[in-house]
Amino acid sequence: MDIKKQDNIYIPVMNIHGYFMDYLPNFAEYPQGIMCSCGSRHRKQYKTVSQLRNHLKTQTHQKWIEILNLEKKIRQLENELQFRYNDPYQFREQLWYQDMYPEKNESILDSTISSNC
Protein backbone atom coordinates (compact mmCIF):
# COMPACT_ATOMS: atom_id res chain seq x y z
CA MET A 1 0.00 0.00 0.00
CA ASP A 2 1.51 3.31 -1.07
CA ILE A 3 1.19 6.43 1.04
CA LYS A 4 0.39 9.34 -1.21
CA LYS A 5 0.56 13.03 -0.36
CA GLN A 6 -2.74 14.77 -0.88
CA ASP A 7 -2.27 17.89 -2.94
CA ASN A 8 -5.40 19.66 -1.76
CA ILE A 9 -4.43 19.97 1.94
CA TYR A 10 -3.85 23.51 3.22
CA ILE A 11 -0.47 24.00 4.89
CA PRO A 12 0.48 27.37 6.43
CA VAL A 13 3.76 28.97 5.36
CA MET A 14 6.64 29.99 7.59
CA ASN A 15 7.58 33.67 7.63
CA ILE A 16 11.13 35.06 7.80
CA HIS A 17 11.05 34.97 11.63
CA GLY A 18 10.27 31.25 11.69
CA TYR A 19 6.59 31.48 12.65
CA PHE A 20 3.74 29.80 10.81
CA MET A 21 1.26 32.15 9.18
CA ASP A 22 -1.74 31.84 6.89
CA TYR A 23 -1.75 32.60 3.20
CA LEU A 24 -4.29 32.32 0.40
CA PRO A 25 -3.16 29.84 -2.25
CA ASN A 26 -4.01 30.10 -5.93
CA PHE A 27 -7.35 28.33 -6.30
CA ALA A 28 -6.77 27.73 -10.02
CA GLU A 29 -4.35 24.98 -8.98
CA TYR A 30 -7.03 23.30 -6.83
CA PRO A 31 -10.19 22.78 -8.89
CA GLN A 32 -11.64 20.32 -6.37
CA GLY A 33 -11.08 22.75 -3.46
CA ILE A 34 -8.77 22.85 -0.47
CA MET A 35 -9.12 21.03 2.86
CA CYS A 36 -7.63 22.42 6.06
CA SER A 37 -6.18 20.03 8.61
CA CYS A 38 -6.78 22.30 11.62
CA GLY A 39 -9.68 20.12 12.73
CA SER A 40 -12.49 22.65 12.85
CA ARG A 41 -14.48 21.12 9.99
CA HIS A 42 -13.45 17.60 9.16
CA ARG A 43 -13.20 16.89 5.41
CA LYS A 44 -14.70 20.27 4.47
CA GLN A 45 -13.69 21.37 0.96
CA TYR A 46 -13.23 25.13 0.59
CA LYS A 47 -13.94 25.84 -3.07
CA THR A 48 -13.60 29.64 -3.15
CA VAL A 49 -11.14 32.19 -1.80
CA SER A 50 -13.82 33.81 0.34
CA GLN A 51 -14.75 30.48 1.97
CA LEU A 52 -11.12 29.80 2.85
CA ARG A 53 -10.54 33.38 4.00
CA ASN A 54 -13.52 33.11 6.37
CA HIS A 55 -12.23 29.79 7.66
CA LEU A 56 -8.76 31.21 8.31
CA LYS A 57 -10.34 33.81 10.61
CA THR A 58 -12.08 31.25 12.84
CA GLN A 59 -10.94 30.78 16.44
CA THR A 60 -10.24 27.09 15.92
CA HIS A 61 -7.93 27.75 12.98
CA GLN A 62 -6.15 30.61 14.78
CA LYS A 63 -5.63 28.36 17.81
CA TRP A 64 -4.20 25.66 15.51
CA ILE A 65 -1.65 28.14 14.11
CA GLU A 66 -0.76 29.18 17.65
CA ILE A 67 -0.25 25.52 18.66
CA LEU A 68 1.96 24.89 15.60
CA ASN A 69 4.15 27.83 16.63
CA LEU A 70 4.31 26.64 20.25
CA GLU A 71 5.24 23.11 19.17
CA LYS A 72 8.02 24.55 17.03
CA LYS A 73 9.36 26.55 20.00
CA ILE A 74 9.24 23.46 22.22
CA ARG A 75 11.19 21.43 19.66
CA GLN A 76 13.79 24.20 19.42
CA LEU A 77 14.16 24.36 23.20
CA GLU A 78 14.46 20.59 23.49
CA ASN A 79 17.14 20.57 20.80
CA GLU A 80 18.99 23.35 22.59
CA LEU A 81 18.81 21.48 25.91
CA GLN A 82 20.02 18.31 24.26
CA PHE A 83 22.90 20.22 22.72
CA ARG A 84 23.87 21.88 26.01
CA TYR A 85 23.46 18.87 28.25
CA ASN A 86 24.26 15.26 27.57
CA ASP A 87 21.15 14.12 29.43
CA PRO A 88 18.19 16.45 28.73
CA TYR A 89 15.85 14.29 30.81
CA GLN A 90 17.86 14.94 33.97
CA PHE A 91 17.64 18.68 33.32
CA ARG A 92 13.85 18.45 32.78
CA GLU A 93 13.50 16.67 36.11
CA GLN A 94 15.47 19.46 37.78
CA LEU A 95 13.22 22.10 36.23
CA TRP A 96 10.12 20.20 37.31
CA TYR A 97 11.46 19.87 40.85
CA GLN A 98 12.24 23.59 40.96
CA ASP A 99 8.67 24.39 39.95
CA MET A 100 7.19 21.99 42.50
CA TYR A 101 9.42 23.03 45.43
CA PRO A 102 10.56 26.64 44.93
CA GLU A 103 11.63 27.02 48.59
CA LYS A 104 14.24 24.26 48.15
CA ASN A 105 15.34 25.61 44.79
CA GLU A 106 18.80 26.94 45.74
CA SER A 107 19.93 23.95 47.78
CA ILE A 108 18.93 21.52 45.01
CA LEU A 109 20.79 23.51 42.38
CA ASP A 110 23.91 23.65 44.55
CA SER A 111 23.88 19.90 45.16
CA THR A 112 23.35 19.04 41.48
CA ILE A 113 26.08 21.41 40.33
CA SER A 114 28.57 20.01 42.84
CA SER A 115 27.68 16.41 41.95
CA ASN A 116 28.14 17.06 38.21
CA CYS A 117 31.61 18.57 38.64
Q: List the chain domain ranges.
A: 1-84, 86-117
Predicted local confidence at residue 12, as pLDDT: 92
**Between 81 and 74, residue with greater pLDDT:** 74
Whether the predicted pLDDT of 117 surpasses 80? no
∠ CA 73-76-77, rounded to 5°: 85
Residue-wise pLDDT tens digits, 104-115: 555 545 555 555
Predicted local confidence at residue 92, as pLDDT: 67
pTM: 0.62
Residue-wise pLDDT tens digits, 30-61: 888 899 988 887 788 999 999 999 999 999 99
Sign of the CA dihedral with 64 first, then 43, 7, and 54 last:
negative
Maximum Cα interatomic distance, the chain, rounded to a whole number of Å: 65
CB atoms within 10 A of CB 55: 19
Question: Residues 94, 38: contact at Cβ < 8 Å?
Answer: no
